Amino acid sequence: MRIHTIKSICLCFVLAFAIQTVSAQKFGYVNSTQILAEHPDIKAADTELEAYQKQLIAKGEQMVKDFEKKYTDYMAQANGGTLSQVQMQQKETELGTEQQEIQQYEVEVQNKLLQKRQELYAPVLNKINSILESLGKEGGYTMIFDSSTGGLLHADESEDITTILKQKLGM
């Protein structure tokens, strides 16, 4: 009977410790989509990015117009019989090359826009991350999640089990 009582007392201590540990963890969340949508620096960056995009698109549109004119001229000459077979092949090669340049420019525009966006957003995102880390430490948060993406934005380093996992994997 005495062993049963000792086991019960030990079980109560373990449960009390477990409850205290669970209640000691503090979780928080933010909505990054809302923050970014309302942040004035992001709005300014979006305006600048839109102007940059219009500039790049205008150049692309001009390339397409030039190509279309050359193609129309070529078709008129080819249908009019003023070009030899060699001249037609040469013009077709030139038009094919120009068409590839337009396609390459489209890819280049996408890459430039992505790079410009990252460049414009980086200072704001770095500031937000820095503040989140400070809030996490000051507020005693074990983890802070992003409710709009489900991603983890802050985690207490004491909760990182990467080293343990690596050991278990033999790494």
Residue 89 belongs to a domain: yes
Residue 75 belongs to a domain: yes
Residue 168 belongs to a domain: no
Residue 13 has pLDDT above 70, yes or no: no
CA distances from 24 to 9, 158, 160 (A): 22, 13, 17
pLDDT at 141: 84
Task: Report the domain count for the chain.
Answer: 1
pLDDT at 121: 95
Task: Note the pLDDT tens digit of each residue in 120-146.
Answer: 999 999 998 888 888 888 888 888 888
Residue 76 belongs to a domain: yes
Radius of gyration of the chain from Cα atoms? 32
Residue 73 belongs to a domain: yes
Residue 101 belongs to a domain: yes
CA atoms within 13 A on the CB side of 112: 15
Query: Which residues partner with 146 through β-bridges?
Result: 30
Residue 30 belongs to a domain: no
Q: What global pTM score does this model have?
A: 0.67
Task: Note the pLDDT tens digit of each residue in 31-67.
Answer: 888 888 888 999 999 999 999 999 999 999 999 999 9
Residue 22 belongs to a domain: no
Domain span at residue 82? 41-140
Closest to 92 in 3D by CA, of 78, 102, 103: 78
